[in-house]
Amino acid sequence: MRWASLIAPLLGMTIGQSASAQALRCGPSILHCTDLVAPPELPGISGTLELQPVIGPFGVAVTPAGAPKYRLLAHVTGLPAPGTLGRYESYVAWAYTVTLDSVIKLGIVHNGRVPLGEIGREQFRVLISAEPSAGVRQRRGRLVLRGTSPGARLLAHRDLMQPVAPGAPVDAHAHGAGAWRMPPMLPGGSMMMPGMRHLTPSVAPWLPATDADVPAAVPRRIVSVRDGDTLRLVAGFVRRSVAGKSLLMYGFNGQYPGPLIRATRGATLIVQFENQLDQPSSVHWHGVRLDNHSDGVPDVTQRAVPPGGRFEYRVHFRDAGIYWYHPHVREDIQQDLGLYGNILVVPPNERWLPSVDREEVLALDDLLVDEEGLLPYGTETPTHALMGRWGNTFLVNGEPRYTLSVRRGDVVRFYFTNVSNARVYNLSFGDARMKVVASDAGKLEREVWASSVVIAPAERYVIDVRFDSAGEVALTNRVQALDHMYGTYAPEVDTLGVVRVSLGAGTSRAAKVFSSLRANTDVIAELAPYRRYASRPPDQTLVLDLETRELPQPVVMMLNALNVPMDWNDGMSMANWVSTGREVRWILRDAASGRENMDIHWRFARGAIVKLRIFNNPMSAHAMDHPIHIHGQRFLVISRNGVSNDNLGWKDTGLIPAGETVDLLVDMANPGTWLLHCHVAEHMGAGMMLAFVVE
């Protein structure tokens, strides 16, 4: 268990230590390992089952339906020759559903390290039996080891709970402006803990308000930028109609999303920002390696721009890629209310990506609304500080129902940006085959096929899709939603939009290019020198952790032992809602010094290639996946849990599932003082950021 030994020192624990001297035990890697236990009459046998990450272009590998994919690795010791247990010739491993109603044969087992192939499910049981031959199709022989997948341990929790059924009367909550109303039920988050119905967040509710006449927002416009151009960018109130409700929201230049900036690499854009909001703001150019002065971080690179104030940004586009911009003040409010826009940077005289028939730049968002409109935000600090604010109304470029019309055979390039506060998506267009060509800050070494696209908050993926048959194809988010109360998963399918594919012969010239995968020799050559850093010990190690205080008792009960590597839904919506930045502190801890968040003062030499190890502590009170973003620089994700990534591409945001150890190589090329933070808006609002200096 190589990766487990990477993290053991961080937790002060020993791997493989237990009462009986040779017994194999998982230790702290509880979300990616399970102990295999022998029946009492076979005391000498023991083992573990390791769930290794399947490495692909996304932060985590899942099936199109959203179930996690793992590579199973058994470590077994003490197995006697099978014949000593009866008329047996070999040992065989089997994976069962938790209800034991379906089984797959994993493979032959012997002492030592045994790869058992891939599995695409969260909750399962593994049995290892002695069998008369290696070729058996069904388990008949004697059981020698058994184990339960880490995800199935959640099920033990439900027996302790006495849930309140949905629809049960909820005690009076004051309604109207200036009062909290209970959030709407979200998929998966069906049950409430006893005693929870009286709770409200410990902060005052907040919604935008103005006496002024507010214009209706218009869809975004495209701004094509030439070097030296100036763009006036005004953040102000807009009126939006979303799913039949008229909402007072925010917008850049009265548009939703903000203007789409198209620029050529090497250009510099002057942005004259004006704040016409009712609160301070700023603009951060996410992923753009610009001068530190224009990074838009209050108290680090500038003062927050007060209402009525202005600030001039010089935005220099150094790398081709798909970027975005958003305020860096109360993102949980300002970004959620519509302050975000995309930037597409292309090289001046070359085609950097294969040709396609059409390009779509799509920002994905989810808004939390009920009958009365937007659910109020926290005034002093964010609500939903545990899991972030998950919406119940999906928006693509600000519209609840995205539609696109294409001709049959067309190849469409989608530039996806996840601008949601907290949600990780698993996107697909029916069964259409998708080609991953690029991510945040450029192309991958090699294009790859994908059956779905996992995109965490602030990440970008460039995906080519060919629509082969006429009719309607839905763009869906398909996940396995966890009910944190019961510990059970249920499929969730959200429809984000529809692609209408017209009849008739396809005339696409891009179709031929689409059918093959390209190796990007330029990227391979550029990244080759970085691989030698991979085997080096980390220069810095961060531990992701959580501290809570004064949380109400029913919330504390919810947090007990309910950790999973990834949360695909808000499966504890009441408990999450009432947890604010006052009770919850999310932590980036420097393993070397023990310092946390803004008390960390790393300094790096300009041009240094820094190996940064991030370990997401699975033992914390409510471990969760975190999309970690680094300002002003770019990085490569070189390994996860010790398994290396052989298809690199420059990124600025990377997903760190709970329980994983992810190694990044950061190219510290850009001098200044920069942030590293979690991009779940409420996690950052609850402290999860640090600043470092590149000299």
Interacting residues with Cu ion between 56 and 85 (CB under 5 A): none
**Strands of 112-119's sheet, edge to edge?**
33-36, 46-53, 70-77, 112-119
Q: Does 680 bind Cu ion (CB under 5 A)?
A: yes
Minimum CB distance to ligand C2O smaller for 192 or for 424: 424
The stretch among 112-120, 367-375, 494-502, 678-686 that binds Cu ion (CB under 5 A) is 678-686
Minimum CB distance to Cu ion smaller for 116 or for 628: 628
Residue 629 interacting entry, from Cu ion, ligand C2O, none, C-beta within 5 to 8 Å by type: ligand C2O
The DSSP line for 506-531 is ---SHHHHHTSPPB-HHHHHHHGGGG
Minimum CB distance to ligand C2O smaller for 129 or for 334: 334
Minimum CB distance to ligand C2O smaller for 328 or for 585: 328
Nearest-approach distance from CB 656 to Cu ion, in angstroms = 9
Contact 258, 220 (CB under 8 A): yes
Minimum CB distance to Cu ion smaller for 79 or for 676: 676
Assign 361 to helix, strand or coil. strand
Minimum CB distance to Cu ion smaller for 27 or for 571: 571
Minimum CB distance to ligand C2O smaller for 237 or for 324: 324
Q: Does 460 bind Cu ion (CB under 5 A)?
A: no
Q: Specify the long-range contacts of residues 348-354, CB closer than 8 Å, at least 24 apart.
A: 348/264, 348/265, 348/266, 352/320, 352/443, 353/413, 353/437, 353/438, 353/443, 353/462, 354/437, 354/464, 354/510, 354/513, 354/514, 354/518
Nearest-approach distance from CB 12 to Cu ion, in angstroms = 24
Q: Does 683 bind Cu ion (CB under 5 A)?
A: yes
- List the structure tokens of 508: 């696409």
Looking up tokens 């398994």 gives: 643
- List the structure tokens of 421: 């506060």
- List the structure tokens of 485: 């109360």
CA distance linking residue 196 with residue 552, whole number of Å: 8
Nearest-approach distance from CB 345 to ligand C2O, in angstroms = 16
Minimum CB distance to ligand C2O smaller for 328 or for 330: 328
CA distance linking residue 389 with residue 421, whole number of Å: 6
CA distance linking residue 510 with residue 512, whole number of Å: 6
Residue 584 interacting entry, from ligand C2O, Cu ion, none, C-beta within 5 to 8 Å by type: none
| DSSP code, position 574 | H
- List the structure tokens of 290: 């610009």
Residue 675 interacting entry, from ligand C2O, Cu ion, none, C-beta within 5 to 8 Å by type: ligand C2O
CA distance linking residue 107 with residue 148, whole number of Å: 17
Residue 458 interacting entry, from Cu ion, ligand C2O, none, C-beta within 5 to 8 Å by type: ligand C2O
Nearest-approach distance from CB 296 to ligand C2O, in angstroms = 8
Nearest-approach distance from CB 689 to ligand C2O, in angstroms = 8
Question: Given its phi and psi angles, is residue 50 left (phi above 0), alpha (psi -120 to 50 degrees) or beta?
Answer: beta
Minimum CB distance to ligand C2O smaller for 326 or for 478: 326
Q: Count the residues in the chain.
A: 695
Contact residues toward ligand C2O (CB under 6 A) are 284, 286, 326, 328, 458, 629, 631, 675, 677, 679
Nearest-approach distance from CB 430 to ligand C2O, in angstroms = 31
- List the structure tokens of 375: 């659910």
Residue 32 interacting entry, from ligand C2O, Cu ion, none, C-beta within 5 to 8 Å by type: none
Residue 328 interacting entry, from ligand C2O, Cu ion, none, C-beta within 5 to 8 Å by type: ligand C2O
Residue 626 interacting entry, from ligand C2O, Cu ion, none, C-beta within 5 to 8 Å by type: Cu ion
Contact 480, 448 (CB under 8 A): no
Phi and psi angles of residue 155, each rounded to the nearest 5 degrees, phi first: -65, -25
Residue 284 interacting entry, from Cu ion, ligand C2O, none, C-beta within 5 to 8 Å by type: ligand C2O
Minimum CB distance to ligand C2O smaller for 285 or for 429: 285
CA distance linking residue 692 with residue 601, whole number of Å: 6
Q: Which residue's C-beta sits nearest to ligand C2O? A: 286
Minimum CB distance to Cu ion smaller for 284 or for 626: 626
Contact 422, 391 (CB under 8 A): no
Minimum CB distance to Cu ion smaller for 376 or for 382: 382
Q: Does 678 bind Cu ion (CB under 5 A)?
A: yes
Minimum CB distance to ligand C2O smaller for 225 or for 458: 458
Nearest-approach distance from CB 533 to Cu ion, in angstroms = 26
Q: 682: part of which helix (H) or strand (E)? A: helix 681-685
Nearest-approach distance from CB 367 to ligand C2O, in angstroms = 18
Nearest-approach distance from CB 389 to Cu ion, in angstroms = 12
Residue 501 interacting entry, from Cu ion, ligand C2O, none, C-beta within 5 to 8 Å by type: none
CA distance linking residue 107 with residue 90, whole number of Å: 10
Residue 683 interacting entry, from Cu ion, ligand C2O, none, C-beta within 5 to 8 Å by type: Cu ion
Nearest-approach distance from CB 650 to ligand C2O, in angstroms = 16
CA distance linking residue 328 with residue 634, whole number of Å: 19
CA distance linking residue 419 with residue 363, whole number of Å: 6
CA 568 to chain CA mean position, Å:
9
Residue 680 interacting entry, from Cu ion, ligand C2O, none, C-beta within 5 to 8 Å by type: Cu ion
Nearest-approach distance from CB 269 to ligand C2O, in angstroms = 18
Nearest-approach distance from CB 422 to Cu ion, in angstroms = 8
Nearest-approach distance from CB 598 to Cu ion, in angstroms = 16
The DSSP line for 278-318 is SS-B--EEET----GGGS--BTTTBPPBPTT-EEEEEEE--
Interacting residues with Cu ion between 592 and 631 (CB under 5 A): 626
Binding region for Cu ion (CB under 5 A): 626, 678, 680, 683
